[in-house]
Structure 1
Amino acid sequence: MMSKTDFIRHSLELNLFFARIMKEHLVFVASAFTPKNYNLIQPANELKDSLDNLLVETVMLSNGVISPEAIASGEIITQFTLNAELATQYYTGIAIDTRITQAEASLVGSSHIIHNPMLEQRVYALNQKAIGITTAVAQLKETVLRDVLACRMFTHNYPLLADHILREARFYLKMLHKLQRFDETDTAIELIEQEIFWNRIMAEHSKFIRGFLDPTEEELMEIANNFAKEFDVLTEMALKTMDSHRDLSKITEESFEATQEIRKFKAQGTEGILQCKIKSIILPLLGDHTLREANHYMRLLKMFRHQAC
């Protein structure tokens, strides 16, 4: 059973990370629609606005409550996020509320918090709100994926990307429901499941980067391809570990090392895109988005390593 203070902290950290991820998915989805599917841009924008409001409330509740490790991890924002938002807004014409990013840059963490019943109630209500919004986001993503696979819709995103972002929405919902039950993620099976999930995400990021690079960027394409192969292997190894119940520590260590390297690659890539030094069709915010997911996974892996000791 999760303690009440852990419930508050884990909830706020989860929403700070994933609510931003969800709203950015909507930017990527809306920017890839053709004029024929203009009718889907409005619901995407309305959901994005709802997630903005959720983030504003989360930021307000988080100051002095979330852990210093979450702030330092780079999973909430990075040094590139604000400029990536401004550039993406310029390229797409989609409004992005950069005031949230500026507020997040001022967040202060605390190593110790005292239980506050009123804050607990507000966080519980926040999670319920997040569940409602994310359920609607998942439904929109399901519609897009279903229509793309049935050749009823064309979008400039890969079908795999549509599936990828849908899985992330479902994962967010799963974690929110666990928090609302005060369940802890501490069993070996749950840790393996998270490594399987995030190693697959890292592999797919590499494949998207490879596919979105200009064909002349052969060196970067090769690096991305090598990361894709490495994380595919790590995903398979984690799957086999779940079947055999063998020690996960070796795979955790290898995943940690691989994620450190891909994080550097993503940071360099995001900076290169912002400086117009890399030829691609990668939105600057997509580069920063994948970097933050690598940063989040790095923090999880550090916790997994600690639990294994």
Structure 2
Amino acid sequence: MSNAFVERSLEEVRFWSRIMKEHSLFLRLGFRCEDTQLIQEANGFYALFEQIESKANAYTPGTDPYTIKKFNEEVHLAVSHIWVFKRKVLGLILTCQLPGANNFPLLVDHVSREANYFRNRLEELNMGRLEPLPDAIIDENVFFLRIMADHAKFISHLLDPSERKLVEQANNFSQEFDTLLFQAKDLESMRPQSQTLPLLDQFLDQNKVSVKSLRDFKKTARDLIEACRIKSIIHPLLADHVFREAEHFLFIIDMFENSLTGAATAKPAPLAGP
């Protein structure tokens, strides 16, 4: 355990605890007024992750690693609980027990996948279980490409139908990222033979171009929503939320590209996905 462990842990918890907090808000906004128990649970998770976010922001890279290890365990428990809550909500929706509510089943599944990802990251950090770089590149991209494809679908369905041009753009991004995801899954099934430096380098380059385009589209949509210049039922915070996740994916791709460049000139070393 080292300062690198502390820094990586704090980066992950600061980013994802805010995401979990906002998920709680978005779910609450989608419940019916009579769903008082679900609303109360969502509010409780919002407060819990707000506390975790504040605590994470109070720590520094110089904090004792064992303190951060215990903190990660505390966060892991909280994330496990919100994952269970999200899956419960998904079950209620799919069994038609929340008629008239406004949370898409795919959205609830989406936010539960992100909670599970966060939980796994905390386990990997605390156990020091690091994936080899080629595996990390493929696994992280498979996960985030699906997240980006989902985002495009949500944007398309939450824009007013009269915003025909923006809806068309969102649908195009949905198809583009579905295609990229299928390509990533193909690369995944071909490993380890597919894990050559040229193929992985091209894989990252191609994904980066598309993620940048989607990031820019999300930024434009966010700015237009905040300025009340387009018609939609997208909460301004949700627009910023999906923009930040695209930025995070680009950060991960950049880290992988830098690591891959180093791997081309030095002995390969294990590296966990960011």
Checking the alignment, whether the CA contact within 8 Å between 1:141 and 1:166 is kept in structure 2 is yes
Structure-1 separation of matches of 2:251 and 2:121: 16
**AA aligned opposite 1:170:** N
- Greater RCO structure (CA 8 Å; 6+ sep): 1
Cα offset, 1:215, TM superposition: 0.6
1:146 corresponds to which of 84, 91, 106: 91
What are the superposed Cα offsets for residues 28-80 of structure 1, whole Å, 9 maximum, x if unpaired?
Answer: 00011002211111111111111111111100114xx3xxxxxxxxxxxxxxx
- Whether 1:132 aligns to 2:77 is yes
Alignment gaps of 5+ in structure 1: 66-115
- Whether 1:165 aligns to 2:111 is yes
Structure-2 separation of matches of 1:230 and 1:186: 28
Cα offset, 1:182, TM superposition: 1.6
What are the superposed Cα offsets for residues 74-123 of structure 1, whole Å, 9 maximum, x if unpaired?
Answer: xxxxxxxxxxxxxxxxxxxxxxxxxxxxxxxxxxxxxxxxxx5x521221
**AA aligned opposite 2:83:** A
Corresponding residue for residue 31 of structure 2: 33
**AA aligned opposite 2:168:** E
Query: Which stretches of structure 1, 4 residues or longer, exceed 6 Å deviation after superposition?
Result: none
Matches within 5 A, 1:43-54: 43-54=41-52
What are the superposed Cα offsets for residues 117-174 of structure 1, whole Å, 9 maximum, x if unpaired?
Answer: x521221121111111111111110110011011112320211001000100000001
Matches within 5 A, 1:1-309: 4-62=2-60, 65=61, 116=62, 119-154=64-99, 155-245=101-191, 246=194, 247-309=199-261
SS of corresponding position for 1:35: coil
Equivalenced residues, count:
254
Cα offset, 1:187, TM superposition: 3.3
Normalized against structure 2, the TM-score is what?
0.90
Structure-2 separation of matches of 1:305 and 1:145: 36
Cα offset, 1:185, TM superposition: 3.7
- The alignment-based identity, stated in percent, is 32
Alignment gaps of 5+ in structure 2: 262-274
Cα offset, 1:6, TM superposition: 1.6
Normalized against structure 1, the TM-score is what?
0.80
Structure-1 separation of matches of 2:256 and 2:158: 32
Cα offset, 1:199, TM superposition: 0.4
SS of corresponding position for 2:154: helix
Checking the alignment, whether the CA contact within 8 Å between 1:269 and 1:287 is kept in structure 2 is yes
Structure-2 separation of matches of 1:242 and 1:136: 30
SS of corresponding position for 1:36: coil
